[in-house]
């Protein structure tokens, strides 16, 4: 093989590699970062992708050039010249991948340890996942709970995540991180938000019929706005979280139907059920505006029917729906006052919509 061919081949390969890498890196493929961790993850991602594309383009260019340039002539039946290895080439193609793979390992290790490093004033948020909703609570602020993940900008935040039933997974694309929520474990996720805004928070583990509806939001606020939000939530007597034993308040500070509505919303009932009194339009489970008819069909008094259907959802299944879709955990996770509040709220609104 002539020296000229090798120079041409190498030149072509390097140009192809450079062009392919540039084309791959120029468009914005990923959502704009909204956390420090996301920026580091994106850097690692593109570092690896750039290496892969560059090497792939070089290999592909060499192959294409060789196929075209050294194609055998039609009447040529000779064997190629015997070649017995090339020490220089072998050393080169061992050392270059070694350097590349090692550099990927070093970059990844640095990013992982930096992303997990909590600041001194890290804010703790407890995340409870259940079919098919997320609840976020702030134990340092008197267990304020929220169906939306509220975060202060620029503060280091650690999520402590528990599941009440099956495996779920928390993913905010703009934060670039994803962590499973596994029954029996507390998994953790560290986030330092850098950009104000409202971002989608999704369950990314197939967890049942309502999986595609298991969505919430992450809202990043100015620290001052976040502090006043926390204060306000603490004052308006949020329903006690499922882990506390407190059975007071709730019904004393708010009207029974408002208390029931907040239990309804905090437990994600609206992601599966339709109920006009709660502006809920879920389609996974039975339409709760028809509870009067369902109770009649199940041959039970309305209130007992509603209570039993929450505590033991499999006891009566409305025709057209399946067993084991509704979580059977509400009997344990709701306090007695929460359960009473939501039952009377459902009974009231069912009677109203039944009389329409
Ligand atoms: Cu929870 Cu999918």
What digits encode the pLDDT tens for the residues 198-246? 999 999 999 988 888 888 999 999 999 999 988 888 776 444 444 444 4
DSSP symbols for 165-228: SS-EEEEEGGGTEEEEE-TT--EEEEE-B-S-EEEEEEE-S--STTGGG-EEEEEEE-HHHHHH
User: Given this model, what pLDDT does residue 13 score?
Assistant: 82
User: Confidence class of residue 120 from pLDDT cuts 50, 70 and 90?
Assistant: confident
User: Buried b vs exposed e over 250-261: b needs ≥16 C-beta within 10 Å?
Assistant: bbeebeeeebbb
Q: How confident is the model over 12-43, as pLDDT tens digits?
A: 888 888 888 888 778 888 888 999 999 999 99
User: Given this model, what pLDDT does residue 48 score?
Assistant: 93
| Ligand 1 pocket, residue 190 CB under 6 Å | no
**What is the CA(77)–ligand 1 centre distance, in A?**
63
User: Given this model, what pLDDT does residue 180 score?
Assistant: 95
| Ligand 1 pocket, residue 211 CB under 6 Å | yes
Closest ligand 1 atom, residue 181 Cα:
1
User: Given this model, what pLDDT does residue 245 score?
Assistant: 41
| Ligand 1 pocket, residue 168 CB under 6 Å | yes
Angle ∠(135,141,142) on CA atoms, nearest 5 = 80
Q: Report whether pLDDT(152) > 60.
A: yes
Closest ligand 1 atom, residue 207 Cα:
2
| Ligand 1 pocket, residue 203 CB under 6 Å | yes
Q: Report whether pLDDT(250) > 70.
A: no
Q: Report whether pLDDT(49) > 60.
A: yes
Between 76 and 172, the higher pLDDT residue = 172
User: Confidence class of residue 1 from pLDDT cuts 50, 70 and 90?
Assistant: low
User: Given this model, what pLDDT does residue 247 score?
Assistant: 40
Q: Mean pLDDT over all residues of the chain?
A: 85
Share of the chain above pLDDT 90, in %: 34
Share of the chain above pLDDT 70, in %: 93
Q: Report whether pLDDT(268) > 80.
A: no
| Ligand 1 pocket, residue 289 CB under 6 Å | no
Contacts of range 95-103, beta carbons closer than 8 Å, 24 or more positions apart: 100/51, 100/55
**What is the CA(269)–ligand 1 centre distance, in A?**
14
Q: Report whether pLDDT(191) > 70.
A: yes
**Residues ≥6 apart with Cβ < 8 Å to 214:** 131, 132, 133, 134, 168, 202, 203, 207, 268, 271
Closest ligand 1 atom, residue 206 Cα:
2
Q: Report whether pLDDT(172) > 60.
A: yes
Contacts of range 6-12, beta carbons closer than 8 Å, 24 or more positions apart: 8/65, 9/62, 9/65, 9/66, 9/69, 12/61, 12/65
Q: Report whether pLDDT(253) > 70.
A: no
Closest ligand 1 atom, residue 205 Cα:
2
């Amino acid at each position: 093989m002539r020296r000229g061919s090798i120079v041409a081949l190498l030149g072509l390969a390097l140009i192809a590699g450079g062009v392919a890498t540039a084309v791959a890196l120029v468009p914005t493929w990923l959502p704009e970062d909204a956390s420090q961790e996301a920026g580091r993850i994106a850097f690692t991602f593109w570092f690896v992708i750039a290496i892969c594309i560059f090497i792939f383009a070089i290999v592909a260019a060499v192959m294409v050039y060789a196929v075209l340039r050294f194609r055998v002539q039609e009447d040529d039946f000779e064997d190629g010249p015997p070649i017995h290895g090339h020490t220089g080439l072998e050393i080169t193609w061992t050392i270059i991948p070694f350097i590349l793979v090692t550099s990927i390992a070093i970059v990844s290790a640095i990013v992982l340890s930096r992303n997990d490093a909590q600041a001194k004033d890290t804010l703790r948020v407890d995340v409870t996942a259940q079919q098919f909703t997320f609840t976020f609570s702030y134990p340092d602020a008197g267990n304020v709970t929220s169906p939306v993940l509220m975060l202060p900008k620029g503060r280091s935040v650690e999520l402590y995540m528990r599941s009440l039933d099956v495996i779920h997974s928390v993913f905010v694309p703009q934060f670039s991180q994803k962590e499973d929520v596994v029954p029996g474990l507390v998994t953790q996720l560290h986030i330092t938000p850098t950009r104000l805004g409202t971002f989608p928070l999704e369950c990314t583990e197939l967890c049942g019929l309502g999986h595609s509806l298991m969505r919430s939001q992450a809202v990043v606020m100015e620290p001052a706005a976040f502090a006043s939000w926390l204060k306000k939530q603490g004052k308006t007597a949020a329903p006690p979280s499922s882990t506390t034993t407190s059975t007071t308040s709730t019904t004393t500070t708010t009207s029974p139907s408002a208390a029931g509505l907040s239990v309804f919303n905090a437990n994600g009932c609206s992601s599966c059920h339709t109920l006009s009194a709660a502006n809920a339009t879920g389609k996974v489970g039975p339409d709760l505006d028809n509870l009067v008819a369902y109770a009649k069909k199940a041959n039970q008094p309305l209130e007992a029917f509603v209570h039993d259907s929450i505590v033991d959802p499999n006891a009566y299944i409305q025709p057209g729906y399946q067993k084991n879709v509704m979580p059977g955990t509400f009997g344990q996770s709701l306090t007695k006052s929460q359960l009473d509040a939501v039952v009377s709220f459902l009974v009231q609104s069912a009677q109203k919509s039944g009389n329409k």
